[in-house]
Structures are given as structure tokens and as C-alpha cells.
Amino acid sequence: MGLSAAALSLACALSGAELAVLSTGYTIRAERHEQSGDRVWLHTESGVLELPAASIREFEALPEEPTEKKPGPVQETPAPLDVDALVEELSAKFGVHPALVRSVMQAESAGDARAVSHAGAIGLMQLMPETAKELEVDPWKPDENVLGGLRYLRQMLERYEGSPDQVLRALAAYNAGPGAVDRYDGLPPYSETRAYVRRVLDRFLKLSE
């Protein structure tokens, strides 16, 4: 269950950086957040993320960083990554519907390139380090993370090509691994995986309208 409006309003009054703990268990670091009705806006270094209030379990205050820092070498700030354009480009290259990729990304990380799960999955598409190594991508680089995640999703779609529930199995395999899907010859009886598949499909259908 997400935070109540009163709890969110109280949390909003706190100063300094904070950690938004999602209902999925993932966390997102934000400088601050705002709430209006059942929507919450997280102000992160990568931009503003809009989420349903029900998707946030709680906020945790982070200790403030020291105000005095030794000057470091001047570095050029890289241009922000256009994730939507990248998804469009790679989806066309790999033959995967871009709305499906966006739906997986939203379910995995809520669009936060720095999201890290308790299991150790990293980034926008929540790649495990060993999977990223097999795919020969750096999961900490957003563009490579999307490339690796899309490539892996394509592999799962190809694995179950010809099955009447190809997309269901591919999504379940992305979440729980193909071994679990093959072992049960379909969706594994894991509540987390089944909820994940429903969440992705629901968003996919809405984006495809």
C-alpha cells in the first residue's frame, strides 16, 4: 500500500536528499518530491519522475553531504540521454514493440537509471551483473543498459516464438528467468512474477491504444 496524502505531505516538508522506497522494493534517490492528489513527482538528478502515490511505500531521509568539498578537475557535462529516442531506435533495430520496452522499463526501474534492486539488478532495465556480462554491456551506462535489456527481452521473445502466450512467457522469463518458465511450461506460480506480468501487460496495452 502506498503512502497516505498526510504522510506524503509530511515527508515533503523534510529538507535534504531522500530515498523513495517503492512498493516493489526498489529505491530512487531524490533531492525532493511534490504531491498532488494521487500523483507524486520525484526531483532526481536525471530529471523529474512522475509516479502514482500508491507505488511509494515510504520516504527515508538521507544524511546531508558535506558543504565543503575539495575542488576536483573540471569535467564536461555529458548531454542528457534521450531515452525515448534510444528506445525507438533500438526497438526498430531488434523488432520489438517500443511500448513493450517502455512498459518493462517502467515496471523494472520506474525510469531511474541509478535504480538498484535488493537482488543487485542495475539500471533502467534492471540487468543482473552476470546477465550484463553475457550481453557484453556496462549496466551502469544507461544507453548500454537499455541495449542489453532490449537484447535480452528479444532473446526471450524468440525463445517462446510460436507459443500462443509468447509475450506472457517472455515477460515471465525476463522477471524470473527462462528456467522457471520452462520448468512450469508457462507462467511460474510466483505471485511476484504474475503481478509483474500483469503490470507490464496493463501498461503495454494502454500505451498501445
What residues act catalytically? 108
Cα separation, 129 vs 148, whole angstroms? 11
Residue pair 67/78 in contact (Cβ under 8 Å)? The answer is no
DSSP code of residue 187: S
DSSP secondary structure, 122-180, as one string: BTTTTB-HHHHHHHT--TTSHHHHHHHHHHHHHHHHHHTTT-TTHHHHHHHHHHH-HHH
What are 140's three cell numbers?
551502469
